Structure 1
Amino acid sequence: MIKSAVFYLCLTLLVLSCKPSKTSKLVLDTIPDPKTLGESYVSNPDNLLSDATVSTLNRDLSALDQEGTAHIDVVFVKSIGDNVPKDIAHELFRKWKIGDQKSNNGLLIFMVKDQKRIEFETGYGLEGSLPDMICRRIQEDYMIPYARNNDFDNAVLKGVDATISHLKGNASSPAEPEVQVVSPLPDQATAPGPVPVMDPGAMRPDPRPATISGENQVQPPVSSTEKTGPSGNPGGLLSILIFVFYMIFAIILGRKMTAYKFKRAWLNPFIYLMVLGPAALIIYLNLYYPTSFYDLRAFFVLCFLLWFFVNAHFLILGAILKASLKEKSRHEQYLAWRERHEPMEKIVLKLFSFPFLKAYWETYTERLKRLRYDPMDCDHCKSTMTLLDDKKEDAYLSKGQLTEEQIDAIDYDVWLCTFCNATLVLDYKNLQSTAKPCSQCHFQTMEFKKRKIMKRASSSDDGYGYEYYVCANCLFEESIKFIIPQISSSSDSSSSFSDSSSSSSDSSSSSSGGDSGGGGAGSNW
């Protein structure tokens, strides 16, 4: 069971984990942390932004940081290879620890030129002020129109300005531009200039820059209804933790589900459906229907899916048993129904009884009572037989059978025909008993007594020991040897770490320990 749980855990974490690969680690190492450069808030390794833009950004973002409102880092690179921008943005945020440790007020604006992608990665403390919807709107209304025209300086400046305006005003949406830029003559085509903020009572104009003729013609941005492809993120650390706990519980539950039996647990498709199906659904919802409360949504979705799977299991199981046991005896039917239901009885009654399974379980319990205690007909004379009580039945049981009852391994029912004196002895095994069949008397009376280690395992050799069993019926003793695997030795290695400190000559930063759960949004231009 433990091996299977580990297997499914590794398989799921492979799907959900945001841990960087070797390739992404190389990419992370090539992007300089702004705190280690003369520029405190902008990482511009490929010089895609002009010096004037970098200077303006550092000035504005430093003031915002010193006020304690937010710490915003801007990164613009040519390429990150085949890596996913959202993953790189998340790892950069965690590596650089953007934002204050207590308030988690960090924001990373990450742009990748060759993938034409913008990502906003927010710290935990900004998820309320900058929900996914606001991040995406800033990207679409203030950044994408300029980026499509290769005017990256204005794309970043306008996006940062809109973000700062929203944070300072704590509005429900970013401030809107008031005036459209008038299209210049073809020989004087320039990028749109600064756009003043409109009066809240004024009519909302189109915030997009005007169309420019010639090679640098600005393309209209794609509306939210026209976008295709994912715009959210697969989920943060909390989503992964929620799913890991769900997965462990689902695997344990799935192993107890017996509608379909398989020799090897990993061949059971029902377990994969319970584990990988919900994982794919949660990732799909987070990517295509992002929301600021995706962790809470993941929790409720997983709870509902678990409830659904358990209910569906018993619907299928009941139908299978009814169809397959028609020609079986009452005793065989009883054993089959109980074997398939008893392992999940406590879990069902405590967690999943409402509303369907409560009624289902009552019907199942009544079925067992009828199968075991309804009057039996004698096979010889067809007369009605009588079920003997515990005291009277002892006269019809052997010494071994009485011992099995005494150690609670098997319970026997004895039916007596008062007309022809024929008897019928039926056995009902205790599914919770640990007693094993004895190799000498063949009754299920072999009980575990003790476990003794004879040699402990070392780094150079296996260990071993014995488990001792004694038969409660014939007193036969048996010892079974077990092996303790050799302790794996790991080579000692030492590594030295050097502390380094960096300072900025232009400004000081409050970035000291922020973290992100994957909040924010992304857009393509």
Structure 2
Amino acid sequence: MLRLTRILLFFLALLASTATRAQTAYTIESIPDPKRTGGGFVSNPDGILSEGEVQQLNGVAGQLEGNSTAQVAIVIVNSIGQENPKDFATRLFNHWGIGQADVDNGLLIFSVMDQRRTEFETGYGLEGVLPDAVCYRIGMQELVPYFKQEQYGQGLLSALIRIKTTLEDPEALEEIRSGGGQQYGRKAFQPVPGLPAALGWYIFVNGLFHLFLLLWLLYTTYSKQDLYDRYRAVRRVYFFVFIILFPLPYLLVYFYLKYRLNYLRNHPRYGKETGKLMHKLDEQADDAFLESGQITEEEIGSVDYDVWVTDDGDETLILRYAKRFSKYSACPKCSYRTYYHAQTRTLKQATYSHSGLQEQIYSCKNCNFQDRKLITIPQKTRSSGGSSGGGGGGGSWGGGSSGGGGGGVSW
């Protein structure tokens, strides 16, 4: 009986020890900073990702930083205890200083396994290019399907490649490098230290802001003569409201702008040359007036075209409506927005004695043009701090900051 009791106590102690280890929660300070443990972009202290997956992520993140100056940190841990992943991600982002200080173009992809949650935390300078809705969509389309199958490395890689494609769009690159996202980012709306927080001040400032927004809306809507120009002007206001001001008080403005966009796009118009009334063709009929590349753009959803014609066919008007966020960019050969990142292949694995080689394949859906880019996978480095993602990204983060932008997904 005594022996049985000892055996039982031993197993209870073993179980308690295992539970204690399983519940070990990371703090902001205890998560290994990959820039301090090898110079990479991935912190993987619990070994959830394989070394090969860490090297692949480092390769893509390193190329993104080289092309756009944007810095991406990938962190995956078993637990942060009872802390909220979103709040934790914001504090970790600012603790490390991800992104360049002058433009705040950093991104943190933070996964917590026991809470089954991944947060995409953006710096101020990326909020215009990667708003909450886009981060959520990337997470649901690229990351969640793989995570549900416990393919965590592949899910992170797929999401990172999608983000890389989005950020390397020519318009996005200009905004990221110039810090254009800060123009409408949360940093611009931070309260001035010492400003009274009384209700009267809030009502006064809020009233002025709404008046400014109304005047801006009226000006951008009616300062243009052409309906298409009006549509594009209102669309800019629409995205500003949707991405930056989306909270409930602005829902009426949001729905009004949505109605206004639909009205301007579909309202009957007259030919500029003949003055005759024009009508819009349906999606099947308008293909007869589009080039093959334009039809391909419509098929893959990167661009939508409206074709207006007069009843006698004397005048035709083709209007282009590009999708703001798409994995497709302009093809260097045919110029249509049908060019995308098709595949990444590892040609040679990196080891502790030599670097590896990776091939990224870009392809055009229209003209079948292909471009292959070779990327050096940094040589593996040994460190005493676990698998924190050595190699690939230089010595330190750039001193960027975040105000809580970005979105999250659960799996």
What's the TM-score bracket when you normalise by the shorter of the two chains?
Answer: 0.3 to 0.5
* Greater strand share, structure number: 2
Q: Bigger relative contact order, structure 1 or 2, given CA contacts below 8 A and separation 6+? A: 2
Larger radius of gyration: 1
Structure 1-normalised TM-score?
Answer: 0.36
